[in-house]
Amino acid sequence: MAEKHYLTGKEIRKIAKANKKAMMALEKEKWKKKPESEFTAQMKDDKNILEIDNLNTYFFTDQGVVKAVNGVSFNIPLHATVGIVGESGCGKSVTSMSVMRLLQGPQGQIASGSIRFKSSDFKRDEKGNPIPTGTHNLDGTPKYYMEEKVYDIAKMPMNEIHRIRGRQISMIFQEPMTSLNPVFTIGNQLDEVTFIHQPGATKESAKAKSLEMLNLVGIAAPERVYNSYPHELSGGMRQRVMISMALACNPRLIIADEPTTALDVTIQAQILELLRDLKDKMDGSIMLITHDLGVIAEMADYVVVMYAGRVIEMGTVREIFHNPMHPYTVGLQKSKPTMQSDTDTLFNIPGNVPNPINMPKHCFFKERCDKCIKKCSGEYPGMIKVSDTHFVACHLYDEEEQNG
């Protein structure tokens, strides 16, 4: 049985001091202005829009460092939907907040790693103004030169994040009411997005774009919703509005974190249908975070399975559903909810996740694993390539195990 270890007051103060130092250094670095060459990069594969590479995101607490995202790597290909799945607390939201650089500082920090994003934005002059081509769009707004660049979001100073956040990557949260401003009409808030992202937009062109967006997300009376306040709308309607806001800037990547969890079942189905439909219409990719495997099966092209801050398996939807290899992924599928059970009982694999402050050296799933072999008490398993798209981190598939 694991030995219990209680920290003394002195030990706690010592840890807190060391943590504070590390945390403040990262916080300072985050705000430091630097030349663009220090936060631009090259994609490893040109077919990806996002490449997360050995990302470590930590929370510095008085008890120690919580490695919420612990060496995570995965890609989001262009025009694809990638589902991120795993039980509560495994680091799905912290991964997405790292991409958006929305971590609550100074406690939450990207400690290391890269988040490469293929950006396509207006070409700008030295003052940061977009350079017009001299021609116009159909709605009369001016056209601008575009340029492609690869940014390493993890290294971007905070004063440059506006180049990406809400402009090229937008996010749909679980609870739309927290993201909509209660004192402004939907129209005000949607128009604002257009004003920020479409230089030269007029009141009329912004309204036309807002109504077009509301129409696109299946709102039958866009003019009425345009003039409504958030509290006047139902939950499902508000989530549609949120999706229209996320789309209004023509993002290249949408991150949807449990976009339907707060909605009732019929509305959930409608919103998923809408997202699927939009993905075909829009020219971007979706990172879809959910603990619902059914949603993943319906929506995603690729699946990333996370456990205790790490990716333990990833592959195409087909590979993960037809040939799950990691005992945790196999367990997830066995514990899929049925019509009779509610979603809270989804993850009923017995046992607990190790203490996030004091992770073991060996496989994090070991204490819950029924396939454990001798080797599992040794080093943490490396990522094994099963196919060009399928990877698993488990000693059962080490080469010598397979040969032996």
Ligand X SMILES: Nc1ncnc2c1ncn2[C@@H]1O[C@H](COP(=O)(O)OP(=O)(O)OP(=O)(O)O)[C@@H](O)[C@H]1O
Q: Please give the helix or strand (H or E) that residue 111 lies within, else none.
A: strand 108-122
Instruction: Give residues 76-95 in contact with Mg ion (rule: CB under 5 A).
Output: 93
Per-residue tokens: 274? 């809408």
* Cα torsion 88, 91, 95, 101: sign: positive
Please identify which residue in 369, 384, 390, 391 interacts with ligand SF4, judged by CB under 6 A: 369
* Residue 396 binds to ligand SF4 (criterion: CB under 6 A): yes
Q: Who contacts 90 (Cβ-Cβ below 8 Å, separation ≥6)?
A: 306, 307, 308, 309, 353
Backbone angles phi, psi at 20, to 5 degrees: -60, -40
The listed partner (ligand X, Mg ion, ligand SF4, none) that binds 371, CB under 5 to 8 Å by sort, is ligand SF4
Provide, rounded to whole angstroms, the least separation between the CB of residue 239 and ligand SF4: 36
Tell me the one-letter amino acid at 185.
T
Gap between the Cα atoms of 390 and 386, Å rounded: 5
Nearer to ligand SF4, 102 or 349 (CB): 349
Q: In which residue are the tokens 């390493």 written?
A: 152
Number of residues lying near ligand SF4 (CB under 6 A):
14
Alpha helices in 32-158 (DSSP H): 92-100
Question: Which residue(s) pair with 48 in the sheet?
Answer: 77
The listed partner (ligand SF4, ligand X, Mg ion, none) that binds 178, CB under 5 to 8 Å by sort, is none
Instruction: Give residues 78-117 in contact with ligand X (rule: CB under 6 A).
Output: 86, 88-94, 104, 107-108
CA nearest neighbour of 71 among 87, 89, 49, 95: 95
The listed partner (ligand SF4, Mg ion, ligand X, none) that binds 337, CB under 5 to 8 Å by sort, is none
Q: What is the DSSP string of 126-149?
A: TTSPBPEEEEE-TTSPEEE-EEEE
The listed partner (ligand SF4, Mg ion, ligand X, none) that binds 130, CB under 5 to 8 Å by sort, is none
CA nearest neighbour of 47 among 76, 74, 73: 76
The answer to whether 398 and 331 are in contact (CB under 8 A) is no
Q: Look at the chain and count its residues.
A: 404
Provide, rounded to whole angstroms, the least separation between the CB of residue 175 and Mg ion: 12
Please identify which residue in 76, 278, 376, 384 interacts with ligand SF4, judged by CB under 6 A: 376
Instruction: Give residues 321-380 in contact with ligand X (rule: CB under 6 A).
Output: 356
Provide, rounded to whole angstroms, the least separation between the CB of residue 22 and ligand X: 15
Provide, rounded to whole angstroms, the least separation between the CB of residue 366 and ligand SF4: 4
Question: Which residue(s) pair with 119 in the sheet?
Answer: 149
Nearer to ligand SF4, 365 or 391 (CB): 365
> What track of x and - describes contact with ligand SF4 for positions 323 through 352 (by CB under 6 A)?
---xx-------------------------
> What track of x and - describes contact with ligand X for positions 264 through 283 (by CB under 6 A)?
--------------------
Nearer to ligand X, 91 or 315 (CB): 91
Nearer to ligand SF4, 69 or 394 (CB): 394
